[in-house]
Chains A and B, each alone.
Chain A
């Protein structure tokens, strides 16, 4: 493999991983607060539809990205109202959110089908971006990629190092003790869910603004569900999400590259690799640390303040 091909392969892996990474990061923060939101796919596709529409109407990918984030947050707020405000089962509400989002995005996006935008601009630093092998990879990505990595770094710092992050984890592990300690359980959870929605919306906007710059119904094609798997694979650690996203994105992309390079491998097996890897990772994690120590202890449980 020549260096140019190698660089191209790496670049493709990065772009393929980005929507997974950003969406998974948001879901990770929500899950660390104890909220399992199965509506990622629905929030993501709304981000893609609204993001494209806003960018098309305003001519600015930045406004598009902001609109995508807002759309994801609006969906997340609805989910938060149901699960946190009204203590409705998270699994049921998440699934309903996805059905709703897929339908609504199709309705709202119908006027934008078949329209085209330019892709999002890539960074160009004279000199640096032209370096062989790493030039484009490090200094020539689009804004979403840098934003994505910045988000991961911030989330890692927030969860690991800040008081508020500690409070968030406490809420996710044991909302009743957290409540007894005077922590605002429901507000914390709501904010975490909003962050998850913002990330999912941004990931969706990435699809329709940078990855393949057009809107088409159903264009997320199940990436929201992969993001859910990714959170587990990453054992709820932000930096491992980066690794996992590169692996998940990489498995798909490498499979295509292997075909292009005429190495015969069955496609279905390659496509199943990420899911098998997730289950194996889960097993390894659980075997290492008894009883799911990695997972937030109160994941998926609704909380009603005792009185």
Chain B
């Protein structure tokens, strides 16, 4: 019995496989590698939203597949699997995929790769990231205006430059409207553990924080703020459905424009191994609707958003003072340069804490 069914199955599968193979030949196959589940409603979810939008925009010209929950230390094989199965453009969307991506790219010089949030490139490896710190400057300003206790709680993940520069931009934004403001930072040492993130938020609320900002992926800290009748900000996606009364706004990672543009470039043959670091201006960072705040704060936030997008305002415009009050070298002319922000491991003046080592 087993024999006849397997034979049937094999015949069917071969026929199906041939059919899909033939169809795929004239399409550009794109692949995406995610570090978390697409259902995390945070970082990986947003990348997948970008993929879906790209697929919608370009329609029949492309085919896209993704691999989710890929452990960073065992990702080389997963990336290679995409390369081996006819994918022509592969996006690897987490920092830990950097070395594996480069290794696979070396082996497949004719396939194009794009690595998010890293700093190493090759002829066929582009990098891209978003200037999340621009959004953090805006939410800092909002927090500075909205706080009554003058204490802001900040749930942080790991002390990598992206997070540290985010804290600094937040503080600079807050200080621009409220010089006496204090920020308390708790390192949860996780990107995703709802329970622990909630506990971190509770600890900050207990220390008198009345606004919770977060750089971890779940909606738990924001939900804690709502439960306590306080305010907060979402992370990565619009989390207002989890905390309609607490979410002031959210810094949304919007990859749809970038993915659509890059896949189009690959279709047109104009793709190059570029380094893209876009912010509000490039619409890679988008602010969720400003809510739960008075109109004048909303107007201020909208103005700041417009100013940063147009380049009129730079969150890290010089002078940027360190904790000792010494101005950082102004490598970018009027503001810190990208390298300084991408490697940031020190706090600005006014943060009463140490970067953990």
Contacts and interface: CB of A to CB of B under 8 A. Distances in A.
A212 B189 contact: no
Contact of B199 (A109, A253, A271): A253
B205 interface: yes
Contacts of A267: 187, 189, 356
B203 A116 contact: no
Interface stretch (A35-43, A77-85, A213-221): A213-221
A260 B194 contact: no
B199 A214 contact: no
Nearest to A266: B356
A260 B203 contact: yes
Contacts of B227: 119
Contacts of B197: 212
Interface in B128-150: none
A109 B188 CA distance: 26
A114 B39 contact: yes
Interface string A248-262: 000011001101111
A116 B241 contact: yes
Interface stretch (A5-13, A90-98, A132-140): A5-13
A207 B242 CA distance: 16
Contact of B196 (A5, A8, A216, A252): A252
Interface string A105-145: 01001100110100100000000000000000000000000
Contact of A257 (B203, B223, B241): B203
Contact of B198 (A9, A106, A212): A212
A216 B198 CA distance: 14
Given A262-B352, A262-B353, A8 B206 contact: yes
A221 B193 contact: yes
Interface string B168-202: 00000000000000001111111011111111101
A209 interface: no
A48 to B, nearest CB: 10
Contact of B184 (A9, A223, A253, A262): A262
A9 B356 contact: no
B312 interface: no
B161 interface: no
Contacts of A12: 199, 202-203, 206
Given A16-B195, A211-B195, A267-B189, A256 B41 contact: no
Given A212-B223, A259-B186, A267-B187, A219 B194 contact: yes
Given A106-B37, A218-B37, A266-B356, A256 B199 contact: yes
B194 A216 contact: yes
A289 interface: no
A82 B37 CA distance: 30
Given A212-B194, A212-B195, A262-B352, A256 B203 contact: yes
Contact of A16 (B189, B199, B209): B199
A259 B218 CA distance: 20
Contact of B40 (A213, A217, A253): A217
Interface size class of B (residues with CB under 8 A): 35 or more
A186 B241 CA distance: 49
Contacts of B196: 221, 252, 256
B204 interface: yes
B308 to A, nearest CB: 29
Contacts of A266: 356
A223 B196 CA distance: 11
A264 interface: yes
B337 to A, nearest CB: 31
A259 B185 contact: yes
B7 interface: no
B220 interface: yes
B69 to A, nearest CB: 8
Interface in B202-245: 202-207, 209, 218-220, 223, 227, 241-242
A161 to B, nearest CB: 34
Contacts of B205: 8
Nearest to A211: B195
A119 B14 CA distance: 51
Nearest to B202: A12
A260 B188 contact: no
Nearest to B244: A116
Nearest to B242: A116
Interface in A1-57: 4-5, 8-9, 12, 16, 19
B97 to A, nearest CB: 19
Contacts of A268: 189
Contacts of B189: 267-268, 271
Interface of A: 4-5, 8-9, 12, 16, 19, 106, 109-110, 113-114, 116, 119, 207, 211-214, 216-219, 221, 223, 252-253, 256-257, 259-262, 264, 266-268, 271
Given A116-B223, A212-B195, A212-B197, 17 more contacts: A8-B206, A106-B39, A114-B241, A116-B219, A214-B242, A216-B194, A217-B39, A219-B193, A221-B190, A221-B196, A252-B196, A257-B206, A260-B200, A266-B356, A267-B187, A267-B189, A267-B356
30 contacts: A4-B206, A16-B199, A207-B194, A207-B195, A212-B194, A212-B218, A212-B220, A214-B194, A214-B219, A214-B223, A214-B242, A221-B192, A221-B193, A252-B196, A252-B199, A253-B199, A253-B203, A256-B199, A256-B203, A257-B206, A259-B200, A259-B203, A260-B153, A260-B184, A260-B204, A260-B207, A261-B207, A262-B184, A267-B189, A268-B189
In the A-B complex, the 9 residue pairs with the smallest Cβ-Cβ separation, listed nearest first, are A113-B39, A8-B206, A212-B194, A260-B203, A221-B193, A256-B203, A257-B203, A212-B220, A259-B186
